[in-house]
Amino acid sequence: MGGISSHSAAERCAHRMGLYGCPLLLLLIGASVCWGECPCSDPALCQPIQDTRDFEVYVFYVGGKNWKFYDWAHVTTVALFAPYDPELMCYAHSKGARFVLKGDVPLKDIVDPDKRSAWIREKVKLAKAQYMDGINLDIEQIVFTDTPEYYALTALVKETTEAFHREIPGSQVTFDVAWSPKCIDIRCYNYTAIADLCDFLFVMSYDEQSQIWTECIAGANAPFNQTIIGYEQFINMSIDPKKLVMGVPWYGYDYRCLELTEDHKCKLEKKPFRGAECSDAVGSQVPYRSIMKNVNNSLTGRLWDDVQKAPFYNYKDAKGKIHQVWYDDPESISLKVAYIKTLGLRGVGMWHGDLLDYSDDPIAQQQTADMWKVLLP
Ligand SMILES: *[C@@H]1O[C@H](CO)[C@@H](O)[C@H](O)[C@H]1NC(C)=O
Ligand SMILES: *[C@@H]1O[C@H](CO)[C@@H](O)[C@H](O)[C@H]1NC(C)=O
Ligand SMILES: *[C@@H]1O[C@H](CO)[C@@H](O)[C@H](O)[C@H]1NC(C)=O
Ligand SMILES: *[C@@H]1O[C@H](CO)[C@@H](O)[C@H](O)[C@H]1NC(C)=O
């Protein structure tokens, strides 16, 4: 995501005014009158959202217009992981939901405090120009304890939060963390400080097979026990549960099996990841909507693993190779979501909001409605 130049401002402006394809002069006139002008029919909708709600429902948006079908009665934040859509901004604000930027930067670039400040200033400026309500820091890089990057990351979170809170009243600064604070994928961050210094952490309780330390067999994307243990670890390092939002996956993993045993163990090809011999990187991520299209035509139909508390199925591809697909559905998600209350977490969210089938097919509509409904306590 680049900075704001007057060129991009003019473009955005032209877009708002429907001036694309018009002569340059008109474009320039448009830019001069509408830089900073609100794109919403009601100018009040360009105000940042001020109030907080008790239960957070956090949605990552990756593109398209399916946002129209989100459960807006409950959505509290939409994180923009896609090009800016002014219509979505106006709509989110009309529903009292925050609309926040994505923030990602190579940590080696912000070890220098001046460069860090410059990066933050640019993000605040972009958020203001787009009438947005904060930022989601999605820094998933390798960090070793006690390195310059380790301290720079903590400082980044502190300074970003201070700048946004100061410049955009009511704004929200959040930070994405792996399912556990125990250096997963070599993300050895100062988790207690980071949680303290931002509004809350979005816990990515998925990709939990990113480092397979035991037998190389396919497993659930977000096994129940492992997921809950992750939250206990955050809480045990004295992070306030109200600083934690539970992220659930709306996608699964499709693994090709080297061998499938009778008790459904799918042996995986080796693929080392950050120290572990095997990983989910041998699988491919599949949207819930595709899984729902395929599960009934698979070899097995939906099966349930009572240890990991997750559904899966086996199928044969066009070349005759056996695959195993692990995913989450309302049953597995509801078990995890029940722990939001037990542990006193701040809310729920998903990666990502655009993985469901929002078509008008009645079966798909029901499945989509069920996935949204199960998020609520
Ligand atoms: C984490 O950051 C806090 C606040 O800056 C500091 O007091 C603490 O020593 C740090 N912990 C570690 C393990 O670096
Ligand atoms: C968290 O702390 C509690 C109380 O000390 C302990 O019973 C539990 O096993 C710990 N959980 C984890 C995952 O470390
Ligand atoms: C698949 O089967 C289940 C269980 O019988 C059924 O509820 C569901 O509607 C079917 N899905 C589709 C896409 O037909
Ligand atoms: C899951 O956790 C429960 C409670 O701590 C324990 O009794 C059970 O054995 C665990 N299951 C697995 C598969 O680890």
Return the pLDDT at 11.
Answer: 44
Is 45 a domain residue? no
Atom of ligand 1 nearest to the CA of 192: 1
225 CA → ligand 4 middle, Å: 6
Res. 7 pLDDT band, cuts 50 70 90: very low
Is 31 a domain residue? yes
Query: For residue 3, what are the domain limits?
Result: 1-37
Return the pLDDT at 295.
Answer: 98
Ligand 2 proximity of 193 Cβ (cutoff 6 Å): no
d(CA 189, CA 221): 23
Is 228 a domain residue? no
244 CA → ligand 2 middle, Å: 17
Is 9 a domain residue? yes
- Our count of domains for the chain comes to 1
Lowest mean pLDDT segment, chosen from 44-48, 82-86, 191-195, 270-274? 270-274
**With 80 as the cut, is the pLDDT of residue 31 above it?**
no
Instruction: Indicate the pTM of the whole model.
Output: 0.90
**Packed helices 113-129 and 148-167: angle between N→C axes, nearest 10 degrees:** 30
Lowest mean pLDDT segment, chosen from 2-6, 254-258, 277-281? 2-6
Res. 210 pLDDT band, cuts 50 70 90: confident
**With 90 as the cut, is the pLDDT of residue 344 above it?**
yes
**Cα 235–Cα 193–Cα 276 angle in degrees, nearest 5:** 70
Beta strand residue intervals within the chain, DSSP E: 56-61, 77-80, 98-103, 134-137, 172-178, 200-204, 244-249, 251-256, 259-260, 266-267, 284-287, 303-305, 310-316, 322-326, 347-351
Ligand 2 proximity of 229 Cβ (cutoff 6 Å): yes
Is 26 a domain residue? yes
On the CB side of 190, CA atoms within 13 Å amount to: 18
Ligand nearest to the CA of 155: 1
CB of 172 closer than 8 Å to CB of 98: yes
What 3-state DSSP class applies to 179? coil
Res. 68 pLDDT band, cuts 50 70 90: very high
Give catalytic residue positions. Answer: 140
Is 256 a domain residue? no
Q: Identify which has the larger pLDDT, 253 or 24.
A: 253
263 CA → ligand 3 middle, Å: 24
Is 87 a domain residue? no
**With 50 as the cut, is the pLDDT of residue 37 above it?**
yes
Return the pLDDT at 100.
Answer: 98
pLDDT in tens, 107-125: 999 999 999 999 999 999 9
Is 253 a domain residue? no
Closest residue to atom 13 of ligand 1, CA basis: 190
Return the pLDDT at 30.
Answer: 41
**With 90 as the cut, is the pLDDT of residue 2 above it?**
no
Closest residue to atom 7 of ligand 3, CA basis: 363
Ligand 2 proximity of 32 Cβ (cutoff 6 Å): no
Q: What is the mean pLDDT of residues 304-331?
A: 97
Ligand 3 proximity of 292 Cβ (cutoff 6 Å): yes
Return the pLDDT at 1.
Answer: 30
Q: What is the mean pLDDT of residues 73-92?
A: 98
Mutate to test the pocket of ligand 2, among 180, 229, 232, 239 (most ligand atoms within 8 A of CB): 232
Return the pLDDT at 22.
Answer: 44
Closest residue to atom 2 of ligand 2, CA basis: 236
Ligand nearest to the CA of 329: 3
Cα 352 from chain centroid (whole Å): 6
Return the pLDDT at 19.
Answer: 42
pLDDT above 90 covers a percentage of the chain that reads: 82
**With 90 as the cut, is the pLDDT of residue 127 above it?**
yes
**With 80 as the cut, is the pLDDT of residue 34 above it?**
no
Ligand 3 proximity of 296 Cβ (cutoff 6 Å): yes
* Residue position matching structure tokens 């049953």: 331
Q: Identify which has the larger pLDDT, 94 or 377.
A: 94
184 CA → ligand 4 middle, Å: 21
Ligand 3 proximity of 178 Cβ (cutoff 6 Å): no
